[in-house]
Structure 1
Amino acid sequence: MDRLKVAVVADYAEEGWASMDLVAEMLAKRLTSLHQDAIDARLIRPRFVRPLTRFASLRGSKSAFNAERALNRYLLYPLWLRQQRGKFALFHIVDHSYSHLTNHLPPDRTIITCHDIDAFRALLTPSRGARSVIPRAIASRILRGFRRAAMVTCVSQATRNAIVDNGLRSPLTTVVIANGVDAVMSPEPDVLADSAAENILGRRDADAPEIVHVGSTEPRKRIEMLLQIFAGIARTFPNALLIRVGGGLLPEHWRVAGVLGIKDRIVIMPFLERKVLAAVYRRAAVVLLPSDAEGFALPLVEAMACGRPVVASDLPVLREVGGAEASYCSAGDVIAWIQTACAMLNRHDDRDRVRARTEWASRFSWDTYSARTVEVYRAVADVASGKTTTLSVQSLEPTTE
């Protein structure tokens, strides 16, 4: 069997989407290490151009970066990618918000991974007024490419259901391939990583429980609610700390923290190297995910892989990912979240609970992710080459246990 040359089409690194970069990196590494006999994979992305940085007054400006981001995403990346079309048998766009790139690729040889349907919200729930024109135009361009691709892999059944229910794709050309969990996410100590976390956070104090949240500050992450929950926890556990991994809070969040009197109890950490992130998870008394929308939620299963208790919003996708080993509260019910988290902090976390969490998390594997993705590659390639006439996802569906 000839090796398939596959381009793993990644986001611009400068955009800083840690989860998207992780998926691209993990997929490319597994394809290279585990499937090199069948797949010749290369992670590709063009150089991010910064034309506005030459103007001193615009350096560091958010509006300037957004303008450069639009230039690179919607003009320069497509132009560059058109030059790559003859170099690969298949193209795999790992972030659905880059689906517009399909408009510049052979659609019958393009696969897209969809993480959620946020990129299409401007069309599905359009806002009123002139401001909606540009977001709708961008969403339309992305959706056009999304619909043209030969196959869409979805990171969860909930994401696939949302795609199909909203008429974005046919169920016949969508398949679920769940994200994996990095092997470094483990309850077992790692001396160097644990030491690195201790250098940042100080020595772990049993009387100062660490409440951990990992993720961005996008509105759907409900950071203001996270702060309210932590303030309630701090009333019972006054020495508690809120560890926020994923960059600084927005000014409005700090204002809320000031009103709640918890500003001095918050520790801000950037997106961390994976081993150090695992060390931070291992220190957590409880991990909170109060989001009101998710496509998969890697922090949920990563925390469980490290053996730590998690409270997550009661969303279908989070129940799908967290199973019976996580705890759930209604999104927005602050009192229920406080009560549940405090109950966890008062409960002895025995070995059986830790083992149950890690066993559940072990079903999410990047090895499995890459193996099932290779199956999709072969199916798409067979149709594109004329070996078969119909692309069927039935054989690609995971076997139910």
Structure 2
Amino acid sequence: MQPTPTTQRFKILDVLRGFALLGVLIANMAYHSGYWFLSPEKQQNLAHYELGEGLLWLIHFVTEGKFYSIFSLLFGIGFGLQLQRAMAQNSAFTGRFSRRLLILICIGLTHAFLLYVGDILVTYAVLGFVLILFRNCNDNNLLRLVFILPLLPVLQYGISWYMAQVSDASGEVAGMDMFEQIVLTYQSGTFLEIIQTNIFGTFFGRYPDLIFTGRLFKVFAMFLLGYYIAKNRWFANLDTRKVQLKKILIWCAVIGIPCNLIMAYMMTTGAYYTMAPTGIIEPMVYAYGVPALGICYACGIALLYLKPKWQKRLNILAPFGRMALTNYLTQSLLCGIIFEGYGFGLFAQLGPIYFTLIGLGILLLQIGWSHWWLSRFQFGPAEWLWRSLTYMKIQPMKINTFPQHIVNN
């Protein structure tokens, strides 16, 4: 089975992938910059604190969970497309896709250990193996699971909250001494010390948090929805789906906007992690509110893409989206250079206004670089490596180097 030529791509999917990557970085900047690790008192000492808190609330409302939901949706679509292509060519699928996932785990662990504890690639890859088991699931069962899975984190949190009340837990997730040590390491530690902190944080911070928050259920629900969309080829004939897309957009906005207003407020209280009595409100409004608003965004982009003027504008994001893996990894590298001790050491020294401006600057740089790179090469560097290892064959890199029989396949 040959890899898919770039001439056979659906550009709307690249646009959506690029759009999602914009929001992912802005949502992650509070973590990349170290602001999340500061105590409330130290946050208040930063410049323009009140204005920054207002911006942070807006970031929570607009970005939190919505853009990784779109990414998860696209992962499910990609799975469906690859499965359909394998079936059409009567070629093996499971082995090759499993190899693809194993490579992604290696990339994700390298990313987490060297650059960013908040890596999502390993989670996607592990859940990708579970997704394979659902490849023969019918549409009705897929949709049932899409609606059921987001409720499980609410149930899970309810059990944890009840146990915390019964055990009279203090509600402290981690002592401030530990956070202060993390801040000190990222600010002025050696690269080896930072790697050690990243490894510890991955296994004892990131992964327990993914389990505690029920992120695995949330991501997998969007995988299944993406697979359903791929099976029914929703993205292939957008003109015929215009009425349906408008209805979905409206209903998702009706559900998503009020739920995310509540969630953004709850995130400013810290009640969720401290197991306060009101903490359960956050997973309740998250369950359907966050994916609903993410789907609302995606439908809005799809509808705009049907308008010629907007299609031209949105296509600016297509190269950025085609290089999503490269750009995701590069975002962590650039943030490491800016904020951590082996670079400028600005970790935990900037408030939301400044770290958001830095994030926007990184995005503009990456969009321009993606256009330049893909005007010369078929794939981004990370995409090329991933494809070459997946197919166990060096892939042609320069444009117009595909053999003619592959292009016409």
TM-score range relative to shorter protein: under 0.3
- Relative to the length of structure 2, the TM-score reads 0.23
Higher helix fraction (1 or 2): 2
- Relative to the length of structure 1, the TM-score reads 0.24
Higher strand fraction (1 or 2): 1
